[in-house]
Chain A
Amino acid sequence: MDVRFEGVQKTYRRRDGTPVEALAGVDLVVRSSEFVCLVGPSGCGKSTLLLIAAGLVPPTAGRVVFEGDAAGRPRTAVVFQEFALFPWRTVLDNVAFGLEVRGVSRSERHERALSLVRQVGLSGFEHRYPHELSGGMRQRVGIARALCVDPAVLLMDEPLSALDAQTRQLLQEDILRVWEATRKTVLYVTHNIQEAVFLGDRVVVMSRRPGRVREVLEVPFPRPRTEALLADPEFAGFCHRIWSSLKEEARAALEEAYGDGSPA
């Protein structure tokens, strides 16, 4: 399913009523079965854009168009940075939640949830509670839970940001493996350039707040991609190109945040 952002704009109101423009007219097309990564300086509204696509936050202006046959599947499902697992539910019941609220029978949803738990490598943990799992395992549950409803588009909001570097690397590879198997349309928000290049078909670079699309780059590296790519000088060069594009924005964003123009 294609996702088309047409002039999506978002203005928040602070508590004192002053408006804050988070997104200033974003135009972007995510094509069916494409893995698109969104990078940008912190506070550029990339997560807001994702929440708008999820229908969790309404845009102030503009619209998001989903085009294509969803065949009765839900449009989107979200993987959250903070995992957002239900602490009183076991792994299996967390993963099955989306099917449960859709009225899928217990045996059917457990069967499907079990196969996803297996797919993300958590076999044997299906009856554990989230607090008994490590951060990496919790996010695997988060990914399985989103995939369990078989969404047409998978939205991932900095899913690996709360994890340590080694776990992040392992999960990146797992995400690729799962994605190669499903070829879902993915919109993936991250602030990590290497991660965006390693995972994505295209990398969308956003400007600082108010966010808009600054540049869109096709990632030239063939799939299936492996860890070896990370050591490739061309990979480093490509990442550096994106960083150069992002750097001034990031610095300006930082200076705006501190308001005194002092170097970071």
Chain B
Amino acid sequence: MATEVRRDVVVLEARRERAGGLWSPAARVASLAGVVVAWELACRLGGVPAVFLPPPSTVAAELVGMASSGELWRSLQASLLRIAAGFVLGSTAGVLVGTVAAVSSVAEAVVDPLIAATYPIPKIALLPLLVLWLGIGEASKVAVIAIGAFFPVAVGTMAGIRGTDPLLVRAAVSLGASPLQVIAKVRIPSALPVLFAGLRLAAGMSLLLVVSAEMIAAATGIGFTILHAGDLMQTPKLLAAIVVLSALGVLSTWGLQALERRVVRGRST
């Protein structure tokens, strides 16, 4: 019997690398389009009653109608003003309080337990109290949004500033930076990525709270439109308003990302 000699040869050849990066944007569009098409087909062929779920084409037509009648812009304006005022007030206060609490141990001792005790309160629960204090007008709605935006920003600012690499502080001090300069030129820039995470949470919170507040105590705004359309069984309008909310959420995320790219530079370490 002949001896059999086996030799294994393994060859690693050049090959094209997977072009996953090219396909994923297409997959994203397809997933969204697929849901819309399935929805349209279900309504047209599956006999889903339009009063419960109108097809996307009807919702789109309703949206166009609301835009041309001016109703869309009126509610959008009302909601956006509330969000903007509340978000700016709340996040400004959050950055200030967070910064002070992060750099002063006395302020930390004062602020930390207060935040720990009040952060878990669902902010919408405060609306009746705020209406008692500030009236049913814009102030109470802006206030509840401001409170909602304050917490994530304050907590993010604190965490970011406390997380500053002590070596960078040491380097700045050795180069002659004063305590205030250390805060402005080292601690806050180093906290920015975490601070922006707080801002994104705050933006989501603002959207949630504006809708809730408008459902409880308002005669304008997207939240009011949704509630009112639901009461009247105007399902296309209700869904159109929800689409607007979704767009607002996406736009606010994009806006903050664009701002972050401008402000936060040179990292990835």
- Interface digits, A156-175 against B, CB 8 Å rule (1 contact, 0 not)? 00000000000000000000
Which residues of the partner chain B approach A49 to less than 8 Å between Cβ atoms?
none
Contact B174 A87 (CB under 8 A): no
A71 at the interface (CB under 8 A from B): no
Contact B266 A88 (CB under 8 A): yes
Which residues of the partner chain A approach B190 to less than 8 Å between Cβ atoms?
86-88
Please, how many angstroms separate the alpha-carbon atoms of A102 and B165 in the complex? 22
Contact A86 B168 (CB under 8 A): yes
Which residues of the partner chain B approach A102 to less than 8 Å between Cβ atoms?
176
Contact A77 B174 (CB under 8 A): yes
Please, how many angstroms separate the alpha-carbon atoms of A149 and B173 in the complex? 13
What is the number of contacts between chain A and chain B, taking CB atoms within 8 Å?
70
Q: How large is the interface on B (under 10, 10 to 19, 20 to 34, 35 or more residues)?
A: 20 to 34
Chain A, Cβ-Cβ closest to B185? A101
Partner of B176, one of A84, A89, A130, A149: A149
Which residues of the partner chain B approach A86 to less than 8 Å between Cβ atoms?
168, 171-172, 186, 189-190
Interface residues of A in 31-88 (CB under 8 A from B): 54-56, 74, 76-78, 80, 82, 84-88
B69 at the interface (CB under 8 A from A): no
Contact A101 B172 (CB under 8 A): yes
Contact A84 B267 (CB under 8 A): no
Which residues of the partner chain B approach A82 to less than 8 Å between Cβ atoms?
167
In this complex, how many residues of chain A approach chain B with their Cβ under 8 Å: the count is: 28
Contacts A88-B190, A131-B266; is A56 near B170 (CB within 8 Å)? Answer: yes
Partner of A131, one of B172, B192, B264, B268: B268
Contacts A84-B168, A101-B176; is A129 near B186 (CB within 8 Å)? Answer: no
Please, how many angstroms separate the alpha-carbon atoms of A131 and B181 in the complex? 23
Please, how many angstroms separate the alpha-carbon atoms of A113 and B265 in the complex? 20
Interface residues of B in 159-180 (CB under 8 A from A): 165, 167-168, 170-178
B68 at the interface (CB under 8 A from A): no
Which residues of the partner chain A approach B177 to less than 8 Å between Cβ atoms?
97, 101
Contact B170 A129 (CB under 8 A): no
A136 at the interface (CB under 8 A from B): no
B269 at the interface (CB under 8 A from A): yes
- Interface digits, B30-51 against A, CB 8 Å rule (1 contact, 0 not)? 0000000000000000000000
Please, how many angstroms separate the alpha-carbon atoms of A204 and B223 in the complex? 75
Please, how many angstroms separate the alpha-carbon atoms of A98 and B176 in the complex? 6
A190 at the interface (CB under 8 A from B): no
Please, how many angstroms separate the alpha-carbon atoms of A129 and B264 in the complex? 12
Which residues of the partner chain A approach B176 to less than 8 Å between Cβ atoms?
74, 98, 101-102, 149
Contact B170 A130 (CB under 8 A): no
Contact A80 B171 (CB under 8 A): yes
Chain B, Cβ-Cβ closest to A148? B175
Identify which of A76, A84, A89 gathers the most chain B CB atoms within 10 Å of its CB.
A84
Interface residues of B in 181-197 (CB under 8 A from A): 181, 185-186, 189-190, 192
A139 at the interface (CB under 8 A from B): no
Contact A89 B174 (CB under 8 A): no
- Min distance, Cβ B216 to any Cβ of chain A, angstroms: 43
Contact B181 A80 (CB under 8 A): no
Interface residues of B in 2-22 (CB under 8 A from A): none
Contact A90 B266 (CB under 8 A): yes
Contact B269 A98 (CB under 8 A): no
- Min distance, Cβ B178 to any Cβ of chain A, angstroms: 7
- Min distance, Cβ A121 to any Cβ of chain B, angstroms: 21
Contact B175 A149 (CB under 8 A): yes
Which residues of the partner chain B approach A145 to less than 8 Å between Cβ atoms?
175
Contact B168 A88 (CB under 8 A): no
Please, how many angstroms separate the alpha-carbon atoms of A193 and B178 in the complex? 37
Would you give 12 A-B contacts (Cβ < 8 Å), ordered by A? Answer: A77-B175, A84-B167, A86-B172, A87-B266, A88-B266, A88-B267, A97-B172, A100-B185, A101-B185, A129-B267, A130-B266, A145-B175
Given A86-B190, A98-B176, 9 additional A-B pairs, CB 8 A: A84-B165, A84-B167, A86-B186, A88-B264, A89-B266, A97-B175, A102-B176, A131-B266, A145-B175
Chain A positions within 8 Å of B, measured between CB atoms, are: 54-56, 74, 76-78, 80, 82, 84-90, 97-98, 100-102, 129-132, 145-146, 149
- Shortest Cβ-Cβ A-B pairs, 10 listed: A129-B266, A98-B175, A84-B171, A78-B174, A101-B177, A84-B167, A88-B189, A87-B267, A101-B181, A131-B269
